[in-house]
């Protein structure tokens, strides 16, 4: 398959179960989140490995690489379920944050990094419990 050919990949059930343990009420929406690998959209975002929109995670590389990186999985699902889904994150708000504070210091990225940091051990434990290394 060409690296330019995007396709939607269903997350492994074990990954979804482990995520569900972390996201509380928002876990009901996990099945509606689409993961798109080898996305051209990500290439418009510099060196980013992923970018998100409402109920979408666009990946630069493969879904297999994404699901093998628990910290990135948590970070991107945080954007989708806790920011886009609630309406807190919009393209305009993100752009304003990006211009004012840059990528690293914008509030959406700070919140997603913090969510991933706080929940990483628990997520890894859930993955192990589900039989995922």
* Confidence at residue 27, expressed as pLDDT on a 0 to 100 scale: 92
Contact assessment for residue 69 and residue 102, using Cβ atoms and an 8 Å cutoff: no
Query: What global pTM score does this model have?
Result: 0.91
* Confidence at residue 2, expressed as pLDDT on a 0 to 100 scale: 45
Domain ranges of the chain: 7-129
106-116 pLDDT, tens digit per residue, is 999 999 999 99
* Confidence at residue 6, expressed as pLDDT on a 0 to 100 scale: 79
* Confidence at residue 45, expressed as pLDDT on a 0 to 100 scale: 84
Other CB atoms within 10 A of residue 23 CB: 18
Q: Which stretch of DSSP H or E encloses residue 53?
A: strand 50-53
Contact assessment for residue 11 and residue 80, using Cβ atoms and an 8 Å cutoff: no
Does position 3 have pLDDT exceeding 50, yes or no?
no
Mean pLDDT in residue range 102-128:
96
Beta-strand relationship, 50-53 and 7-9: unpaired
Which residues pair with residue 50 across a beta bridge? 59
DSSP designation for 133: -
- Give the N- to C-terminal CA distance of the chain in Å, as an integer: 26
Does position 49 have pLDDT exceeding 70, yes or no?
yes
Compute, in degrees rounded to 10, the torsion defined by CA atoms 16, 130, 20, 62.
Answer: -30
Rounded Cα distance, 36 and 75, in Å? 16
* Confidence at residue 133, expressed as pLDDT on a 0 to 100 scale: 52
């Amino acid at each position: 398959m060409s690296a330019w050919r995007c396709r939607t990949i269903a997350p492994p059930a074990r990954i979804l179960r482990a995520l569900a343990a972390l996201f509380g009420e928002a876990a009901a929406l996990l099945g509606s989140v689409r993961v798109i690998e080898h996305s051209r959209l990500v290439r418009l975002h510099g060196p980013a490995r992923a970018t998100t929109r409402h109920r979408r995670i666009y990946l630069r590389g493969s879904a297999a690489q994404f699901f093998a990186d628990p910290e990135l999985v948590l970070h991107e699902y945080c954007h989708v379920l806790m920011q886009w889904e609630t309406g807190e994150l919009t393209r305009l708000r993100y752009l304003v944050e990006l211009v004012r504070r840059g990528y690293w210091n914008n509030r959406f990225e700070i919140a997603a990094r913090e969510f991933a940091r706080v929940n990483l051990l628990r997520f890894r434990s859930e993955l192990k419990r589900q039989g995922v290394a």
